[in-house]
Amino acid sequence: MKRMLITLLLSCATVAAPLHAEDKIKVGFANRTLNGAFFNGLTEYMKIHAKERGYELITTDARGDLNKQISDVEDMLSQGINYLVLNPQDPEAGMRITQIAKRAGIPTVILDSDISLDAPVITRVQANNAKNNIAIGEYAVEQFGNNPMNCVIISGNQGNLVGEARRTNFIRGVMEAQLRKYNHSNLTIISQGWGNWDQQGGLKAMEDIIVAQGDKVNCVYSEMDDMALGAILSLKAANRLQNVKVFAHDGYKKGLESIERGELQATASNNPNTLTDTALRIISEYAAGQKDFPDYVYTPTILITKDNVKKIYDADSLF
C-alpha cells in the first residue's frame, strides 16, 4: 500500500511539474534596434504577451550594431535565460548568435527575420513575405492597368533577407499579373534607395531619387510602411505625390491612416502583436514537449487597401 501511494504521488508530481516549470520560464528578446515604430512594437508587445504567460522577460536593443547584439545575447545567457527570441541584425550575425545559444543549451526562435536553414533554431516566425508582396504587386497592376510602371524601390539595409524577399516578390507579383492580363510586362525599376527601416531614412532616400530621376517616377515600393511615410513626405514637398502611387509592407497604424487619406495605396499585415504572441506560443509548446516545428511559421496574409482599411484599423494598437 505504501509503495502504491508513493507511486501515485510521484505520478501526480510528474503531471504538475510542467505547469510549475513554465511559470519560471525566462525569455531573452534580442531586438536589432528600437529605431522605428515596428521594432518598438515588437519589444512592447513582447512585454505584454510575456506577462500574460507569466514569463520573466529580458529585452535588449542592439542599436543596429551586430557586435552589440552578440554582446547583448551573451549577457542574457549569463543571466540564465531559458529561451532566446532573436531579431538578428543580419544573417551572418544571426548565425553566430544561434550557435552561441546552442553551445549554451538555449533554444532560439527567430522573429521577423530570415536566417540560413542550417541555423540551429526552433523555427522562424514572420509574415509570409512572398504571399503578402505578390498580393501587393497584383494590386498595383490593378491600379496602373496596362500603363507603364516606372518604379523605385526603397529598401531597408543591404544584405537583409526579409527586405530582399519583399521587393523581389512585389516585382514578381507585378510582372506575373501583367503577363496574365496583357501578355507582356510593363515594369521598369529605375532606382533603388536605402532607408534604414525608418521614416527619416525613407524621406532622404526619396529626396535623392527625385533629384536624380525627376518626373520619371510614377511608382514607389517600400519594404516598410515607415519608410514609405517618409517617401510620401518627400513627394509632397516636391509636389509630386499626385503623380506617384506608393505601396509598402507592414500594416503600421499610421500607414493605414495614410491609406485612408489616399496617399498610400496598399500595404500588408506584419503585426508585432501577432508576431510576438506567436513566438511565445511556440516557446510554450516547445516547453510542453513539442519538438517538431516547420522551418517557418507564418502569420496570416492580409492585404490592406482603401476597400478594407476601416475594418482593420485599430486606434488602440501600439503599432
**139 and 256 part of one domain:** yes
Query: CA geometry: angle at 57 spanning 293 and 66, to 5°?
Result: 75
Is 208 in contact with 193 (CB distance < 8 Å)? yes
Domain membership flag for residue 13: no
Question: Would you give per-residue pLDDT tens digits along the chain (319 residues)?
Answer: 334 333 333 333 333 334 344 458 999 999 999 988 899 999 999 999 999 999 999 999 999 898 999 999 999 999 999 999 999 988 888 999 999 999 999 999 999 998 999 999 999 999 999 999 999 999 999 999 999 999 999 999 888 888 999 999 999 999 999 999 999 999 999 999 999 999 999 999 999 999 999 899 999 999 999 999 999 999 999 999 999 999 999 999 999 999 999 999 999 999 999 999 999 999 999 999 999 999 999 999 999 999 999 999 999 999 9
**123 and 133 part of one domain:** no
**86 and 32 part of one domain:** yes
**254 and 207 part of one domain:** yes
All 3 cell numbers of residue 215? 518626373
Domain residue limits at 174: 129-268
All 3 cell numbers of residue 23? 511559470
Contacts of 134 (CB under 8 A, 6+ apart): 169, 170, 172, 173, 176
**52 and 122 part of one domain:** yes
Domain membership flag for residue 90: yes
**239 and 176 part of one domain:** yes
Listed in order, strand segments (DSSP E) in the chain are 26-31, 56-61, 83-86, 108-111, 123-127, 149-155, 187-194, 219-222, 245-247, 264-268, 296-299, 303-304
Q: What's 97's domain CATH number?
A: 3.40.50.2300
- Specify the number of domains making up the chain: 2
**245 and 214 part of one domain:** yes
Domain membership flag for residue 214: yes
pLDDT recorded at residue 36 = 83
Domain membership flag for residue 16: no
pLDDT recorded at residue 23 = 56
Domain membership flag for residue 155: yes
Is 82 in contact with 50 (CB distance < 8 Å)? no
**169 and 197 part of one domain:** yes
**286 and 254 part of one domain:** no
Domain membership flag for residue 189: yes
Domain membership flag for residue 134: yes
Domain membership flag for residue 314: no
Q: Which of 304, 136, 222 is nearest to 313 (CA)?
A: 304
**159 and 185 part of one domain:** yes
**94 and 224 part of one domain:** no
pTM of the model: 0.84
Q: In terms of C-beta density within 10 A (0-12 exposed, 13-18 middle, 19 or more buried), how is residue 22 classed?
A: middle
- How far is the C-alpha of 175 from the C-alpha of 162, rounded, in Å? 20
Q: Which of 302, 247, 137 is nearest to 314 (CA)?
A: 302
**157 and 255 part of one domain:** yes
- How far is the C-alpha of 212 from the C-alpha of 209, rounded, in Å? 5
